[in-house]
Chain A
Amino acid sequence: MAATGRQYDAALSLLDRQVVDPRKLPVANVDDVELETGENGELWVSAILVGPAALGPRIGGLVGRIMTGAAQRLSGRGPGRIPFAIVTDIGSAVTVSVPVADLDVQPLERWLRDHVIQRIPGASNAAE
């Protein structure tokens, strides 16, 4: 990370921050990070992991196991993954360069939208 010009403490500046898209719309929270080892043995952040399946292990205990189990059973897959390459800024929020609609990291949001919210009249109108 030093190569980018500013050092970040991944635990303080990255974990648990809000991820937003270029229009500042919320994408997810940084629930965990994926680390990879480079050629010289240095660790680098390769992806941001999101969703209850990523958060569960960090909560730990029974609550954490329920969270992970429920998320995996409902979505049928592991945590959502946002490649670190699309991160453009780290401030009070983490900004990514891809619009939220093009990121496939919100399975529950999509299911509830298609099966519940869309069926209620006025769902697609902005409040007036």
Chain B
Amino acid sequence: MKKVFAITLGILTAIGGFVDIGDLVANALIGSRYAFALAWVVPIGVLGICLYAEMCGRVAAISGRPVFDVIRERLGPRLALANLAASLLVTGLTLAAEIGGVALAMELATSVNYLLWVPLVGVLVWIVIWRVKFQHMETAFGLLGLFLVVFAVAWWKLGPHWGNVLHQVTHPALPPNEGLPTYLYYAIALFGAAMTPYEVFFFSSGAVEEHWRRNDLTVMRANVFVGFPLGGLLSLAIMGTAALVLFPLGVQVDSLGQVALPVVVALGKIGLAVVLVGIFAATFGAALETGLSVGYTAAQFFGWQWGKLVRPLNAARFHVFTLISLLGGVLLIMTTLDPIKVTEYSIVFSAVALPLTYLPILIVANDKDYVGDRVNGRIANALGMIYLVIVVAASAAAIPLMIATKAGQ
């Protein structure tokens, strides 16, 4: 019974924790601009993150070694340092975007300008990192994030012709006046949003924080292979509502209000209240995850004590580093840089940084020193290789496409 509870709770928090500001913005923006023509990217991204999250969860549960530890061991100090610099940049940018997202959700709820909320959000995020136990933090924000199911309800309430939706998903066609480079650019952005590197940093470090062992592998796999795909369905619902409400009107999403708008159209004020709680929880939870991930990656590269299992006093470098990153994120958003734009750049840069993170995971998931008899099976390795090719292609194409399309204009 206890195990059933653990599995259910794990799956629910995985669903609620799956979506962050990158998924919210990318899916709504792409739904409003391309309707369902890019929906095929979502399952590809979700399968990729499932595959690699399972590998690094397994490595962490059996060897106790989180991802960035492994990255340095396999890539050597120089490449790993380059990867650390890139990961800190991308994750730091994502952290800033999440803080901006929380503040924008507060603005929508209160009509008080988001810039006034930013410092308060920064302080709240820090207090939770400083004081709240890891499991409580994960469960609370994961469950609150389930309010985002309102996107699925709205999608159903909008009553599309489902056969028609399926046809559009399976027969993607470029809308008139859209070029192929821009289409590919957004495909990479959507892929980057689903496979953001911080997710594996956080997932594997969390596995160590929660003391996962060999016999927790079933729970871990249930979280990954059931929870993540259902979270991916939420992403699709965000895209679907935007495709049904905003695409026909020719509105292109450039604010968080427009992300929530289709829900309001479908469900009215109740919908607005629910979606705001959901967006708040999803972005606040992700701000915690990215803030911690920045500290995790640096600490694991240098071999510092990290994490929330020990008193802050015993992980001084980790907490100082995390605090400085939070401050940096707050300051970046306070420059009045548009948080939605920050989000768009963070997911494209995520795609650029992917290969250096995913290659070492694949290698170590085949190393008996780390996983004993639980090395990758043939299917995991075959899929892992295919994804490595996709990830390298996306990474190489991202910056040229960004320049050629003027970041998707």
Which residues in A have some Cβ–Cβ distance to B below 8 Å?
13, 16-19, 24-29, 31, 50, 52, 55, 58-60, 63, 91-93, 100, 108-110, 112-113, 116-118, 120, 122-128
Contacts and interface: CB of A to CB of B under 8 A. Distances in A.
B312 interface: yes
Dominant secondary structure at the B interface: helix
Contacts of B73: 16-17
B369 A91 contact: yes
Contact of B313 (A24, A93, A118): A118
Given A28-B303, A29-B303, A109 B316 contact: yes
Taking residues whose C-beta sits less than 8 angstroms from the other chain, chain B's interface range is 35 or more
A127 B308 contact: yes
Nearest to B301: A29
B312 A120 contact: yes
Chain A CB within 10 Å — which of B63, B80, B302 has the most? B302
B310 interface: yes
Interface of B: 63-65, 69, 72-73, 76-78, 80-81, 130-134, 299-306, 308, 310-314, 316-317, 319-320, 369-370
Given A16-B77, A112-B316, A126 B305 contact: no
A19 B81 contact: no
B317 A18 contact: no
Nearest to B367: A92
Contact of A117 (B69, B78, B300, B319): B319
B310 A126 contact: yes
Contact of A58 (B64, B77, B303): B77
Contact of B316 (A28, A117, A122, A128): A117
Contact of A116 (B65, B301, B302, B316): B316
B320 A29 contact: no
B351 to A, nearest CB: 25
B65 A92 contact: yes
A91 B367 CA distance: 12
13 contacts: A16-B76, A16-B80, A29-B72, A55-B77, A58-B78, A59-B78, A60-B78, A92-B64, A92-B370, A93-B64, A120-B312, A125-B311, A127-B132
A18 B370 CA distance: 13
Contacts of B131: 122, 125, 127-128
A91 B312 CA distance: 28
B304 A109 contact: yes
Contacts of A122: 130-131, 312
Contacts of B64: 24, 92-93
A128 to B, nearest CB: 6
